[in-house]
Amino acid sequence: MPQLLLGQTFSFIGNPWQMPPEAAVRHIRRGAVLVENGKISAVGEAAALKVAHPQAQITDHGSSLIMAGFVDCHAHFPQTAIIASWGKRLIDWLNTYTFPEESRFGDAEYARRVAETYLDLNLSNGITTACAYCTIHPESVEAYFEAAQARGLRMLGGKVMMDRNAPETLRDTAQSGYDDSKALLTKWHGKGRLSYTITPRFAPTSTPEQLEATGALWAEHPECLMQTHLSEQHEELAWVQALFPDQPDYLAVYEHFGLLGPGAVMGHAIYLSDREWDALRDAGASIAHCPTSNAFIGSGLFHATRAHAAGIRTGLATDVGGGSSFSMLRTMASAYEIGQLRGDALHPAQLLYMATVGSAEALHIGAHVGNLEAGFDADIVVLNLTSTPVISQRVAEAESLWEALFPTIMLGDDRAIKAVYIAGKRHFT
């Protein structure tokens, strides 16, 4: 039976980084979304759609805001249990917290439990799609995709590949990393709404032989994305320079091994040279902006405005568990704060764009999710814009859509998530 979801509707009709933000948005105060067979069939005025579809089942969300579900373009689901771990920068954080925890994921039952928890936390925060790093263990990938498939989610992810500078319990080999990744790719890519992502962790934890094998695998399967990390912290850059002294910069390492192209999703990308900015643009690569992680681990200030000015696909990411929140609202708030520290006051439309359309385009799934538009998957979040007393009193003074939305971006959390729909099925209230 067709469904009509009533409320305020919010969708993008343009890119607020390339035009006046107010002109990039279509907001209908008394709007409706028609959902049929798991897809959005129409978005428009509630009165007109009710007349046109008298048999539709109606769910009235009142004055809440109906929009596309959030898309998280970079996360580490095995780090769910170590989120908010104290006192380390990147390399020490990996050795102290991440690697011991990830070593547990050869246990299929443990991997299953964490995957279930991770996806439930995503849904409770309105994240309907994510691209995740698993661990070196095939069991972790199986658990992740099985849990996602059971929920009908559009999810991406892949087995981490690393054969050096990690504990023995977390090292594969150039050959086994290739073989395991290829087997998992063959099994899961394109199954339902799932996509496999080739996943070398980052240059310091892969030998040249493994990076060469990874580049060969991606060349054989260009239909898949490739995700890795780039230029997150100064210590990391120095480490890469020491390990690859023949390369002029960090990005050049990936270029050398065939790991830069339109399907590359680079996490962080904080400390880039002019050459690297140009190379990312020319290659058509994407960047995953991870603001809570960049602040929590003390990495630095990503230049979102420069990335968009260069025409680089740029999405927003929680980077759980280096990132300190499962909330995409909190992630947007952190992106705003980092922008302020750079002297850029990001508009609410730009923040919401990165968390939806921007991330979807960064992951090359922008024709399916990320916007409230006819033909898209009905992956939808409903936001209560008066979810707490402090937000409510601020909204009471609002004189525009943006003044009503911005308090939820800055102060909202999972209490603001009134409902989540996955392919038109309500999963969270």
Q: What is 168-194 written as a DSSP string? A: GGG---HHHHHHHHHHHHHHHTTSTTE
Query: How large is the C-alpha radius of gyration of the chain?
Result: 21
Task: Locate 172 and state its tokens.
Answer: 């594969």
Residues of the chain with CATH 3.20.20.140: 70-362
Residues whose CB falls within 8 Å of the CB of residue 284, separated by 6 or more in sequence, listed in order: 261, 262, 313
User: Between 138-150 and 174-188, two packed helices, what is the crossing angle to 10 degrees?
Assistant: 20
pLDDT category, 429, cuts 50, 70, 90? low
As a whole number, mean pLDDT of residues 255-275 equals 98
CA separation for the pair 76, 414 (Å, rounded): 20
CA separation for the pair 26, 44 (Å, rounded): 10
CATH code that applies to domain 3-68+371-428: 2.30.40.10
Residues of the chain with CATH 2.30.40.10: 3-68+371-428
Closest CA to 257 of 217, 304, 314, 222: 217
Task: Locate 162 and state its tokens.
Answer: 């690393």
In tens, the pLDDT along 369-418 reads: 999 999 999 999 999 999 999 999 999 999 999 999 999 999 999 999 99
State whether the Cα torsion 252-319-402-3 is positive or negative. positive
In tens, the pLDDT along 113-165 reads: 999 999 999 999 999 999 999 999 999 999 999 999 999 999 999 999 999 99
- Confidence (pTM): 0.98
Residues whose CB falls within 8 Å of the CB of residue 29, separated by 6 or more in sequence, listed in order: 8
CA separation for the pair 203, 290 (Å, rounded): 19
In 3-state terms the chain splits into helix, strand, coil percentages (rounded to 5) of 45, 25, 30
CATH code that applies to domain 70-362: 3.20.20.140
